[in-house]
Amino acid sequence: MVRILLEKAPPVARVIFNRPEVVNATDGRFVKELHAIGQALAEDKDLRAIIVTGAGRGFCSGIDLKAVSQDEIQMPWFREWEETLRLFETMYDKVVICGIHGACIGGGLQFSLTCDMRIAADNAFFSLTAVRHSIIPGLGTFRLPRVVGMGRGRLLALATSQIKARQALEWGLVEQVVKAQDLEKTLNSAADMFLQTAPTAFRESKKLLVQSYDLSYEQFLSAYLEGQQACLASSDHTVASTAYLSKTPAQYQTPKKQSSDPSRPIRKTRLVA
């Protein structure tokens, strides 16, 4: 069975973690498939929104502890995993939305933090380490304190703390909590919301946001002015100006959604490394 499924219905794609028998735990093959799919998504100019979910009873339970215990995962895996996270994090021209239900632990939490929006079902729970078996410590902390602050980050990374969806909302780990039966509808609505934005302004704004903790002010100013120039020179600016003056909604150039006719199948792609 392939570990990652990819469904495309431009301008939206869906990535599904597909190891439900182990709550979508990550192993060597999982990461290779996810990285290959990330590269394909990054290069696809017909896509503007990526929705990531997990099959079965949870989103992702983190690293496969059985694989770790049997020495099937070595040091190169951790670099490949982080490079895969960064690949999704830096898809500047696409919004990446994470739909979380059940377990979101370790690598699952790490991946969710690379996304632009996280929507959780009310049955979701979060931890950076496996609550009962902490073979692998909560080392993936590059993004965590930036999202929840150092104090809360320490609780999740240094102890076997587990929090539920409502607390995750209070801490800023997720932006929205909905009933489990409403998760799919809410994810689709979120994608539609982002698709209304000007593509060039979205790309340049996301680029600055991702780099905002790492740039000096002078570097930020240079990147900001470069982004503003790109926006002013884009066709989006012309569309927005015309819409403003005519008091009509802006219609940005973006691939049209495929027909929602249930008799028309969604195009599915399965990438195997």
Tokens found for residue 57: 């009873």
Nearest to 17 by CA among 107, 127, 136: 107
Domains by residue range for the chain, with CATH: 4-195 (3.90.226.10), 199-251 (1.10.12)
Predicted local distance difference test score (pLDDT) of residue 132: 53
The reported pLDDT for the residue numbered 158 is 83
On the question of pLDDT at 268 being above 70, the answer is: no
The pLDDT assigned to 165 comes to 97
H helices of 90-198, in order, are 107-113, 144-148, 150-158, 165-171, 183-195
145 preceded by a cis bond (ω within 30 of 0) = no
Taking only the tens place, the pLDDT of each residue in 75-133 is: 999 999 999 999 999 999 999 999 999 999 999 999 999 999 999 999 999 998 755 55
Q: What is the mean pLDDT of the chain?
A: 89
Rounded Cα gap, residues 262 and 70, in angstroms? 45
pLDDT for 136 equals: 58
pLDDT of residue 78: 92
DSSP code at position 60: B
At residue 140, the pLDDT reads 66
* Cα–Cα distance, 98 to 203 (Å, whole number): 18
Q: Could you tell me if 231 and 205 are in contact, meaning their C-beta atoms sit under 8 angstroms apart?
A: no
- Mean pLDDT over 174-200 rounds to 97
